[in-house]
A and B are shown apart, each in its own frame.
Chain A
Amino acid sequence: QSVLTQPPSASGTPGQWVTISCSGASSNVGSNNVNWYQQLPGTAPKLLIYNSNQRPSGVPDRFSGSKSGTSASLAIRGLQSEDEADYYCAAWHGSLNGPIFGGGTKLTVL
């Protein structure tokens, strides 16, 4: 089963700005919205960004999403220690009739 392509790791120091990329194809990212999920260690995933750039209520505005063509990005401004987590992008895949996920990016706050 194909996945969206994310860097396996990313890092930054407190206060920094970090971006995580998500690369797909015309059949998924290119033609559908992208969602981002945050998974803190030992917990269930949590919705961070939906419709490519919308934040659910309660998600700080330090988190933002964007999409262009077959790629999407998650940006975290003002990195904090509690942002240390795994981040997954996801997009609907028409032929699958379900979503596909990226492989995940482990964010380390140095």
Chain B
Amino acid sequence: EVQLVESGGGLVQPGGSLRLSCAASGFTLSTYWMHWVRQAPGKGLVWVARTNTDDSSPSYADSVKGRFTISRDNAKNTLYLQMNSLRAEDTAVYYCARVMETTVYSGQSFDIWGQGTMVTVSS
């Protein structure tokens, strides 16, 4: 079965760090563009970061640029999001999402989503 499973969320103090993991199964992660999307409690979806197949040109939302880093470990078939200097406004459920192959250059549709992992930034 093709699926993504996130982990690593939790409660962290402002200014702290967390690393989220997104384990892929049923497909080879290295051949897909991947994104992170977050959703604050009761709010809508917000794009966070994306990486291409060789991680040569990651991009980030302005709100996380310089604080978050997206990466992957192909041997473990796992995507990561390193989050530093966390703020209260980073509190959200974080989803990893796979880009449908045929849409890489035509809008990047997310055909597989993980179940999400909750990050709470609070003192």
Contact = CB atoms under 8 A, between A and B. Distances in A.
Interface stretch (B20-28, B59-67, B72-80): B59-67
B109 A88 contact: no
A44 B115 contact: yes
B45 A47 contact: no
A22 interface: no
Contact of A91 (B35, B62, B107, B116): B107
Given A44-B116, A47-B111, A1 B100 contact: no
A37 B44 CA distance: 12
A56 B96 CA distance: 19
Interface residues of A, number: 31
B63 to A, nearest CB: 6
Given A98-B35, A98-B59, A47 B100 contact: yes
How big is chain B's contact interface, by range?
A: 20 to 34
A97 B35 CA distance: 12
Contacts of B115: 43-44
Interface in A23-40: 32-35, 37, 39
A91 B106 CA distance: 10
* Most chain A beta-carbon contacts within 10 A, residue among B47, B50, B95, B103: B47
A52 B103 CA distance: 11
A92 B59 contact: no
A101 B107 contact: no
Interface string A85-110: 01010111000111111111000000
Given A35-B109, A45-B95, A98-B49, 10 more contacts: A1-B63, A32-B107, A33-B103, A37-B45, A39-B45, A50-B103, A50-B107, A50-B109, A101-B47, A102-B44
24 contacts: A1-B62, A33-B103, A34-B107, A35-B109, A37-B45, A37-B110, A39-B45, A44-B115, A45-B37, A45-B45, A50-B100, A50-B103, A50-B107, A50-B111, A51-B106, A52-B107, A56-B111, A86-B44, A88-B44, A96-B59, A97-B50, A98-B50, A99-B47, A104-B44
Interface of B: 35, 37, 44-47, 49-50, 59-63, 95, 100, 103, 106-111, 113-116
